[in-house]
Structure 1
Amino acid sequence: MVNPQWLKSFATLADLGNFTRTADRLGLTQAAVSQHVRHLEQVYGPLLIRRPRAIELTPAGVALLEYCAEVSKADERLRCRLSDADAANGEVSLITPGSIGLFLYPLLLDFQQAHRGVVVRHGFAPDHEVLDTVLQNRYELGIVSLKPDDARLAATPFIEEALELVAPANEEVHTWEDLVRIGFIDHPDGQAMANRLLSRRFPGNPGARNLPCHGFSNQIGLLLEPVARGLGFTVIPRFAREGCARASLVKVVDCGPAVVDTLWLIHRAEWPPSPRATAMIADLRQRIHAACG
């Protein structure tokens, strides 16, 4: 690779047209500038036509000057990418579980609309995949429901999410027998969530596995569809309900004291989030506060 200092000397000389002024600009001796040009000419052939009061570039010199401009631009792009100093432009990536993702995605789009130079990349995944993708630098930020114990990850509380018993709007739920009559719409975390919540509302109940199962979906964004159609009830996080279009056709059953999970924002501990990511998280916190009161 050509010595960058040689290229800098040549580009400055082409701009100023004089060896003495070039040496002064670069803080070098005139002999050093001449030597840099000779090194380049040994590689690329004649680059300059030296005249008493000016210099003229040969075709090879013009080509090399264009190359110098390309190198300068590439160097600037690299510096910007490595420093990640531009908070107004570039990509920011976040991966989350489905429930909080349904709630956050419209807020992420609000942020992108307000910051047109930023590209938001959002993914849905269960906790273990969120951890893996952040550790492998495929996403800069992640949200998980359990605080990780991996020293490579930094974790801060992001938001609290309550579990809810969601039933068809026309159903009344007062006893365990009502749940048996309505039936359960299950999902991958359904029985675990139901047991945690229903133990508060119906102490001594025989457990969610003993409820008639009236359906199952591994897409949390679709769970309210069978509930809205009167096919059963489910237990899901609050943000999953708020992110569903069918929310008006279902109702939340009062189960007493809330069962709440803390969701954790994670990123690689070895380096801080980019300015874009920091701005996006601050914006999300403000929007969540406004939405949730």
Structure 2
Amino acid sequence: MNNLHRLRSFTALVETGGFTRAADRLGLTQAAVSQHVRHLEDELGPLVIRRPRQIELTPAGMALLNYCNEIELANKRLKLRLSDANAHSGEISLITPGSVGLALYPLLLGLQQSHPGLIIRHRFAPDPETRDAVLNKQYELGLVTLKPDDPSLVARSFLEEPLELVVPAGAAVAGWDDLVRLGFIDHPDGQAMATRLLVRHFPGNPGIRNVPCHGFSNQIALILEPVARGLGFTVVPRHARQAFAQADAIRVIECGKPVVDTLWLIHRAEWPLSARAVWVLEQLKKMPLLNQRQIGPWREGG
């Protein structure tokens, strides 16, 4: 069959949607990528329909893409079998929501300090990006807030993450009018989280959209900074609040029965977790942060 360089060019073309982007990803010239695809088409027939700023696969192209995925899957399994003997060395790749990531990343670095052969690769991302990164084999492990129904993914309950109403330390909050006076510090999930939590504590409230917005940040580590400065209140997951360094500058308002998100650990279903991933998950299970709720053992069939 065709050499791997041509197949990689074809796969990159499909994933990026264009010859220039595929060339940039592979570090090749556009002419080289075009030549690779042309050689494949000389052997297999038309593979892609070229349109302005996009491509479309022909049936032959779809068949070749499936073949490329099968080769990549076989290579992945081979590498796991050949390089997985030592659970304390090699790369651990994890992609998570920002809040729990703030809590997990220092724990992972602690494991790396104890076992210098480990390499920690971690990224903050929302659910859709996390799901795609695991499906596309860019990360071995992911955490998402919504359990996926894709049969290509295994999803296991990992831990629970309560939402919290956080106000400046000196703020008096006895009713909805106090929140209106403080103003809301928004973030990408802020209004959805605030709606879910505040309906419990302030039933019949007119809604978070009727509270003045006093700021916005899409950086999970910075959302509580304006709260600490007295500029407003917000609603964030507990792990984000626990990771905030200025604990004395903020206060959590008790909201009765907690509103809790379940975080789901996901990985590809077609192959077992690496020994490194199993070992790291077992170590994390022993730590106080993750003693709330987990399913184990982490090995397949557990």
TM-score normalised by the chain length of structure 2: 0.69
Show CA shifts across 1:69-110 (max 9, x none). xxxxxxxxx767645222121111100010110111111111
Question: 1:183–1:211: 8 Å Cα contact kept in structure 2?
Answer: yes
Tell me by how many angstroms 1:290 deviates: 7.3
Match for 1:203: what amino acid? Answer: P
Q: Which runs of 4+ in 1 moved over 4 A?
A: 78-81, 289-293
Q: Which residue of 2 aligns with 1:154?
A: 154
TM-score normalised by the chain length of structure 1: 0.71
Q: Distance in 1 between matches of 2:281 and 2:291?
A: 15
Q: Which residue of 1 aligns with 2:263?
A: 263
Q: Distance in 1 between matches of 2:142 and 2:126?
A: 11
Secondary structure of the residue aligned to 2:246 is: helix
Q: Which residue of 1 aligns with 2:173?
A: 173
Q: Distance in 2 between matches of 1:82 and 1:226?
A: 50
Question: 2:168–2:230: 8 Å Cα contact kept in structure 1?
Answer: yes
Secondary structure of the residue aligned to 1:245 is: coil
Question: 1:97–1:143: 8 Å Cα contact kept in structure 2?
Answer: yes
Q: Distance in 1 between matches of 2:220 and 2:79?
A: 42
Q: Which residue of 2 aligns with 1:143?
A: 143
Q: Following superposition of structure 1 onto structure 2, how do residues 1-293 of structure 1 map, counting pairs within 5 Å?
A: 82=82, 84-289=84-289
Seen in structure 2, the aligned counterparts of structure 1 residues 94 and 79 have a Cα distance that, compared at 3 Å, is closer
Question: 1:80–1:86: 8 Å Cα contact kept in structure 2?
Answer: no
Secondary structure of the residue aligned to 1:110 is: helix
Secondary structure of the residue aligned to 2:286 is: helix
Q: Distance in 2 between matches of 1:193 and 1:229?
A: 22
Question: 2:284–2:290: 8 Å Cα contact kept in structure 1?
Answer: no
Query: In terms of mean alpha carbon deviation, does 206-215 or 280-289 score higher?
Result: 280-289
Seen in structure 2, the aligned counterparts of structure 1 residues 79 and 260 have a Cα distance that, compared at 3 Å, is closer
Q: Distance in 1 between matches of 2:191 and 2:246?
A: 22
Show CA shifts across 1:250-287 (max 9, x none). 00001110000100000001111100001111111211
Question: 1:96–1:144: 8 Å Cα contact kept in structure 2?
Answer: yes
* Unaligned segments of structure 2, at least 5 residues: 1-77, 294-302
Secondary structure of the residue aligned to 2:139 is: coil
Question: 2:159–2:290: 8 Å Cα contact kept in structure 1?
Answer: no
Q: Which residue of 2 aligns with 1:29?
A: none
Tell me by how many angstroms 1:247 deviates: 2.4
Match for 1:170: what amino acid? Answer: G
Match for 1:181: what amino acid? Answer: R
Question: 2:159–2:292: 8 Å Cα contact kept in structure 1?
Answer: no
Question: 1:85–1:274: 8 Å Cα contact kept in structure 2?
Answer: no
Q: Which residue of 2 aligns with 1:64?
A: none
Secondary structure of the residue aligned to 2:197 is: helix
* Unaligned segments of structure 1, at least 5 residues: 1-77
How many residue pairs were aligned? 216
Q: Distance in 1 between matches of 2:170 and 2:162?
A: 23
Show CA shifts across 1:156-200 (max 9, x none). 010000000000000011100000011100011101000000000
Tell me by how many angstroms 1:292 deviates: 6.7
Match for 2:219: what amino acid? Answer: Q
Percent identity, aligned pairs only?
A: 64
> What do you get for the CA RMSD once the two structures are aligned?
1.7
Larger Rg: 1
Match for 1:239: what amino acid? Answer: H
Question: 2:184–2:232: 8 Å Cα contact kept in structure 1?
Answer: yes
